[in-house]
Amino acid sequence: MEPEVLPAILVKTRPELLSRIALVKDLVRTIQIDVMDNLFVPNKTVGIEDLIGLPPLPKGVRYEFHWMVKTPERWIARVEGPSTHIVHVETIESAEHFADIRRTAQASGGKLALALNPETPLELALPFIKSVKMVLIMTVHPGFSGQKYIYEMGDKMKALRSLYPKLDIEVDGGVNLETIAHAYSNGANMLAAASAIFSSKDIKGAIQALRKAAKSGGQQ
């Protein structure tokens, strides 16, 4: 599977959000927006009011919302459109709760994906994977940008890829020119980066360099 590099936007205000969207919307296929409620993780980002009425994207480009929030279904219900909604398996209380979240995502016009924190065993996600379009393996503890990549998550990526050869597997956290090949070689094909993209004066060049670095590691 070809590597897809996607920018992860973690900001606290709508003007910052719109500015970063404008910087990358013509360069990628997916734009990830990180949303934190200061409950599920100890940080707060843009709120639901900042996410309503986001600018339309070019054809073939979509939004991906990473809901690091305690009750994701309440947030998803407010954001309409053909986006991907990533919810943490740690917030799913039961099979019935998962079904409710999935219905909410479908009603909003979007699709559902799962995320797992570093300490969460893969087994907790397995009952739900056939009902989602993608699984995100966190390679840092969620909450803040700029953390160090956790190399031990490679085993989790590899195990998931062996179980689901065609599944989109994403990683998020500490992805840069030094770590991206490790993620890709262990089975992740969607590679979210924040600082490695937005700290660059040449954002297009940074995205291209990350994609090239990913390929240098190959996939097993």
As annotated, the active-site residues are: 34, 172
Reading phi first (left if > 0) and then psi (alpha if -120 to 50, else beta), residue 53 is in left
How many CA atoms are closer than 13 Å to the CA of 174, on its beta-carbon side? 18
The residues, any chain, with a CB within 8 Å of residue 208's CB and separated by 6 or more, are none
Question: What stretch of H or E contains 16?
Answer: helix 14-24
d(CA 163, CA 102): 22
In the DSSP assignment, the letter for residue 194 is: S
d(CA 116, CA 138): 6
**DSSP secondary structure string for all residues of 48-69:** HHHHTTPPPPPTT-EEEEEEES
The answer to whether 122 and 162 have CB atoms below 8 angstroms apart is no
31 beta partners: 63
d(CA 6, CA 132): 19
Token pair for 61: 């480009």
